[in-house]
Structure 1
Amino acid sequence: MAAAADVFDYIIVGAGSAGSVLAHRLTEDPDVRVLVLEAGPGDRGPMSVILHMPSAFAYPLASDRYNWYYHSEPDPHMDGRAMYCPRGRVLGGSSSINGMVYIRGHALDYEGWSRYKGLADWSYADCLPYFRKAETREQGGDDYRGDRGPLKVATGRCDNPLYEAFIEAGQQAGYARTEDMNGFRQEGLGPMDMTVHQGRRCSTAVAYLRPAMARPNLQVRTRALVTRVLFEPGSDPARAIGVEVANGAHLDRIRATREVILCGGAINSPQILQLSGVGDPDALRGHGITPVVPLRGVGENLQDHLETYVQVACTQPITLYSAMSLPAKAKIGAQWLLTGTGLGATNHFEAGGFIRSAAGVEQPDLQYHFLPMAISYDGSSPASFHGYQAHVGPMRSTSRGFVRLRNADPKVPPRILFNYMSTEQDRIEMRAAIRLTREIFGQKAFDPFRGASVSPTDEVRTDAQIDAHIRQHAESALHPSCTCRMGADDDAAAVTDGQGRVHGTRGLRVVDASIMPDVVSGNLNAPTIMMAEKIADAIRGRTPLPRSTAPWFTHPHWRTRQR
């Protein structure tokens, strides 16, 4: 029997992007008691500078201090490589270790969601008000952007001339400049937004969770590994009544009188469901787990963005390579600690964009992040020369993977397979990504800076050569999603309904990127926050925000022109 102190109205599993939002919004009601359980540590302490200094994000991505540090199964279409899959394990979750890029996705992504049975209220008109509710943009609000939300968003200053060269080269190649790819027009190249405020990372722990922790009706416990959801014996449908939590060698049980809400993300949420007996009953029995709710879609439909780097040597010493020596890093760190300014106060992804890979593609399907340095995303391949690079990859992959239990031990990472590049469509789009990026880098704007092609080299030209390069070098853009996807309960692939409620259960909900029916065209932190804001209103029984009437841009000649 649980003690009275271990009974809450809501138990939120995971203090990441969605969990922090829900903790904040649910505890706005002073009569509701909420417990947040986070498997990782807090986001403060001697080592936490690597979480809060924007330019230091490569460090938590490359270590397991604040990171689940997952790796996939050998991927059959990537030369058998085990693909790295970092996931946040800290207050703020992946919003505390990610690259801080703030991108919402394209309006047509949400129009596509709304066409699934049971998801009519996930259209762009329904979602845009919640993007605005969550955000405060430093330039102010408008019909697309918010100015009163908890999440602080800044736009890249683009002081390094290479940023402007990239945007100008795009225009010379025939692509438009867009000043706000989260506004009316996503398509084009321009400055990018980041979740940075006054030179510090604005994670959801900073924006949502910390303010809520001052309320007496919220309790947050770190280093609390949830091993399974508990169900009321004999209930039909199965009613979630709490969770089991590993406490050293002991297992504690904590009761929820209203709901258990899983916010573990696209890897951990399906893992916890399966450990709890929710999933493919045959697979569960194979691990000695008694099925409680047969849902074969749990852990399936895994989607992600794959990206590659197009790297070029720079003939002028103006890149971030100058900042990579120990004395330079010390100087940058000291300036940031003292003033919150300088090279330490940005994620350096200050320019980017979206283009269409071919005529007949209605919305952009390739995304760019431009970086004035040649280095791997997580810092595992240090810069050794002055260079610049574009991260580029398809936005709406047709490949599908899975997250499945390895065994019944909750401390053992699940089996993850992305199945990247398993379809010809994905290979076609990635080939276009390489060739179109080379064309942009070949424009006049880069003439003062362009050195030799570094990766891929000039010799990589044919379809087969590009395919081989991708298999050997492409990496995850770190956007796993869709493993507990929303949809109507008569759809065998759907796990949750349009409010995140798990089919076949009561009192159990999933709210995170795993419930996306399809991955959006862009980074996932902003959409995940939006989804949590929207579902928080549903949980509280509040009237949804009024639908937006703001239009969006579609290229007038998309059927016949690539640009």
Structure 2
Amino acid sequence: MCGKIAFATLYCALLLNFSTYICLLDWYEFFTTLSLIDLNKEYKFDYIIVGGGTAGSILAFRLSQNPNNKVLLLEAGSMGKSSILDIPLITPLLHKSIYDWKYRTVPQDNACWAFKDNSSSWPSGKVLGGSGRLNHMLYTRGHPDDYKEWFIDCDCDFNYEQEILYYMKKSENQVGSQSNNEYYHGRGGTLIVDDMVYQSELYDSIFNAANCLNLPIRDVNGKFSSGFSPIQINIKNGKRFTPIHHLLQNQQPNLVIKTQSTAKEILLNANLEAYGVNFIKSGDKYDVFASKGVIISSGTIGSPKLLMLSGIGPKKHLQSIGIKSKLDLPVGYNLQDHISTGFDLIIFEEPLDFHKKFVSPLEVLKYILKENGILTSVGVEVLAFLNTFCLENVIGYDLCEAEFNHRPNIEFLFMQAGLATDYGMRMRHIVGLKSVVWKEYYSKFVNNYTASFLPILLRPKSRGYVKLKNSKIDSKPIINPNYLSEKDDINILLAGIRFIKKLVETPPMRKIGARFNREIFPFCKTFTFDSDDYWKCYIKYMSFTIYHPVGTCKMGSFSDESAVVTRDFKVKGAKKLYVVDASVIPKLISANTNAAVAMIAEKAADSIKMSEVSSKKMCKAQPICN
């Protein structure tokens, strides 16, 4: 008991000091940038990029490599200079901080019932580096057929190696165990990829359990896209390393970066040609102008918001909130997201190494001196991409995938902790858990050692939307992912829970004292525990985002009425206006999305350069499979 009291006291002190520190840091950055807001001598550029996340950082780097291009990168958030922000283990503490837009969905009819207002928190990076500074740094690419679906309406022969793999490799700087696999992995890109430094006893146990179930273990970013795999992450010397870190280390004099600068409107002339951006900084408005193009890279929520505020979006919706429609396009529709369930469904008889060292002062010292230890952990050591049909097929997993052409439809993240690990001090508030759910269910596990093996729905059928609440720049948009509105989605998550239970019952997992949590979720007690109806009830309550929203500025052919941008990333019907980020992804991939966004940015950079050459009539740019 004394140890737990000491833990609670130390953890509270760390939380308080951390929150105070980042608030002071943000104010310091605000005041030190006040002197940098004069643009009277610097308001004309070749390219303006709105949003300094993964895509915006890569575009800024690539376009500024040409010394003749003058490039402006606008970011609504602060610089986020402190290296403390790049300690991997503190990632959850950045959620709901000043570096987060703190979005929330509207109440969900079929999901998120255990969370406040029956809605889901949607963290999104409000800092230079974007959501790449808030995510869990996992590098996964997805299945080739995921990308083939992006070109399904394309009158061309899709070539994965040319259209996707080439740009995956170009964006990657693989320095880990796969660095010699040159066919599938790249060196020298802006997105560094390395192996995880920290490993607990859970690492070997998960792989041994997979072996017991005759499931493959391999690099899921190589020849195969399924199986169990050690995680690959964006880390360098024990710290988060993203494209913005690379950009700042290699910034050219022809690139100007303005932080704490919120884009208010895209400037369009009568011919719908983008010629600049109006933005707000410190309460003042500024106009900056671009001769070659305006590129919107503000993310799946921010990009459609800015387009609609500028008069580009569904005509009826814009008119209903008093915005003059300039271009009628389905902006904001086609919203998709990866959803998960299953916090604290695993209990251990004895603490794992992670539980013992969670807030150990010795681990802090180890991190400072050696850049290793538990602080380099992202909370996940192993992941798996699997197909639920092939998990039940007797012919063997790989043979099933090949025979029936099945790609993964579910991901598993094997996390060493749960909502009860920190005694309810922080994590339950970050995810927005209702107090009654904590009191009646999760509080029972504070004296246990829990873990979360999360099943993640990879290719949801449910679709949602983003709309504006009003015409004000500082109003949060209306976000409705329509989670679990399609019954197939909940059935796949149910199959995921069944598999987790099967995995935990293997000898390697029993050997480290793991067991499946049989505590009845009180809000589903009318159903028999472990029945399908019970778990469907549980999933509807305990469903939450995995932070991969896409699709609100869908990419497609010009004739596709559901598309907002064409495959050269140009907004349909507009000129010199591009959207490049996760919002253009037409259909979710079978993986985390950051690697795909980096690939898209590299692809867009080449496409924009081709357009520039074409406009000079030096040669005719070839369309990218359009």
Q: State whether TM-score is above 0.5.
A: yes
Contact 1:101/1:194, CA 8 A, preserved across alignment = yes
Matching residue within 42, 46, 67 for 2:100: 67
Distance 1:262 1:225 in 2: 12
Give 1:304 deviation, angstroms.
Answer: 0.4
Contact 2:504/2:514, CA 8 A, preserved across alignment = no
Distance 1:44 1:455 in 2: 45
> Could you tell me which amino acid in structure 1 is paired with residue 71 of structure 2?
V
More helix by share: 2
SS in 1 for 2:601: helix
Distance 1:113 1:455 in 2: 42
Matching residue within 282, 304, 321 for 1:248: 282
Between the two proteins, the alignment pairs up a number of residues equal to 531
Alignment CA distance shift 1:319-1:342 (3 Å): closer
Q: Which moved more, 1:394-403 or 1:456-465?
A: 456-465
Give 1:491 deviation, angstroms.
Answer: 1.4
Q: Could you tell me which residue of structure 1 aligns to residue 597 of structure 2? A: 528
Q: Could you tell me which residue of structure 2 aligns to residue 350 of structure 1? A: 381
> Could you tell me which amino acid in structure 2 is paired with residue 364 of structure 1?
P
> Could you tell me which amino acid in structure 2 is paired with residue 166 of structure 1?
I
Q: Could you tell me which residue of structure 1 aligns to residue 324 of structure 2? A: 290
| 2:273 is equivalent to residue 239 of structure 1 | yes
| 2:196 is equivalent to residue 156 of structure 1 | yes
Q: Report runs of 4+ in structure 1 exceeding 6 Å deviation.
A: 542-545
Q: Could you tell me which residue of structure 1 aligns to residue 21 of structure 2? A: none
Map 1:79-478; keep pairs closer than 5 Å.
79=113, 81-117=118-154, 123=160, 125-138=162-175, 139=177, 140-141=179-180, 142-156=182-196, 159-178=199-218, 180-207=219-246, 209-213=247-251, 215-232=252-269, 234-235=270-271, 238-295=272-329, 297-309=330-342, 311-325=345-359, 328=360, 330-359=361-390, 362-375=406-419, 380-381=427-428, 384=446, 385-454=448-517, 457=520, 460-478=529-547
Contact 1:95/1:525, CA 8 A, preserved across alignment = yes
Q: Which moved more, 1:529-538 or 1:384-393?
A: 384-393
Alignment deviations for residues 274-321 of structure 1 (CA, whole Å, 9 cap, x no partner): 0000001111011111111110x2000000000112621112322422
Contact 2:296/2:579, CA 8 A, preserved across alignment = yes
> Could you tell me which amino acid in structure 1 is paired with residue 428 of structure 2?
S
Alignment CA distance shift 1:164-1:428 (3 Å): same
SS in 1 for 2:539: helix
Give 1:130 deviation, angstroms.
Answer: 1.1
SS in 1 for 2:383: strand
Give 1:64 deviation, angstroms.
Answer: 2.6
SS in 1 for 2:603: helix
Contact 1:158/1:351, CA 8 A, preserved across alignment = no
Alignment CA distance shift 1:221-1:495 (3 Å): same
TM-score, length of structure 2 as denominator length: 0.81
> Could you tell me which amino acid in structure 2 is paired with residue 87 of structure 1?
S
Alignment CA distance shift 1:280-1:182 (3 Å): same
Contact 2:197/2:377, CA 8 A, preserved across alignment = no
Contact 2:420/2:450, CA 8 A, preserved across alignment = no
Alignment deviations for residues 385-433 of structure 1 (CA, whole Å, 9 cap, x no partner): 3232212121000000111000000111100011110001101111111
Contact 1:187/1:364, CA 8 A, preserved across alignment = yes
SS in 2 for 1:257: strand
Distance 1:314 1:116 in 2: 50
> Could you tell me which amino acid in structure 2 is paired with residue 64 of structure 1?
S
Distance 1:230 1:193 in 2: 41
Alignment deviations for residues 328-363 of structure 1 (CA, whole Å, 9 cap, x no partner): 1x3323322233111112313221111111145610
Contact 2:198/2:374, CA 8 A, preserved across alignment = no
Distance 1:484 1:279 in 2: 10
> Could you tell me which amino acid in structure 2 is paired with residue 30 of structure 1?
P
| 2:80 is equivalent to residue 33 of structure 1 | no
Contact 2:103/2:122, CA 8 A, preserved across alignment = yes
Q: Which moved more, 1:298-307 or 1:454-463?
A: 454-463
Distance 2:186 2:381 in 1: 20
> Could you tell me which amino acid in structure 2 is paired with residue 374 of structure 1?
G
SS in 1 for 2:210: helix
More strand by share: 1
Q: Could you tell me which residue of structure 1 aligns to residue 568 of structure 2? A: 499
TM-score, length of structure 1 as denominator length: 0.90
Give 1:174 deviation, angstroms.
Answer: 2.8
SS in 2 for 1:182: coil
Distance 1:263 1:212 in 2: 20
Unaligned 5+ residue runs, structure 1?
548-563
> Could you tell me which amino acid in structure 1 is paired with residue 500 of structure 2?
T
Give 1:452 deviation, angstroms.
Answer: 4.4
SS in 1 for 2:286: strand
Distance 2:621 2:273 in 1: 26
Q: Could you tell me which residue of structure 2 aligns to residue 487 of structure 1? A: 556
SS in 2 for 1:307: strand
Alignment deviations for residues 365-403 of structure 1 (CA, whole Å, 9 cap, x no partner): 110111222348996139833232212121000000111
Alignment CA distance shift 1:312-1:319 (3 Å): farther
Alignment CA distance shift 1:416-1:124 (3 Å): farther
Contact 1:156/1:351, CA 8 A, preserved across alignment = no
Matching residue within 80, 88, 102 for 1:43: 80
> Could you tell me which amino acid in structure 2 is paired with residue 450 of structure 1?
G
Task: Give me the identity figure in percent.
Answer: 29
> Could you tell me which amino acid in structure 1 is paired with residue 544 of structure 2?
E
> Could you tell me which amino acid in structure 1 is paired with residue 491 of structure 2?
I
Alignment CA distance shift 1:456-1:400 (3 Å): farther
Distance 2:309 2:576 in 1: 17
Q: Could you tell me which residue of structure 1 aligns to residue 525 of structure 2? A: none
Distance 1:544 1:351 in 2: 43
> Could you tell me which amino acid in structure 1 is paired with residue 583 of structure 2?
S
Distance 1:508 1:408 in 2: 21
Alignment deviations for residues 490-510 of structure 1 (CA, whole Å, 9 cap, x no partner): 211100000211001001000
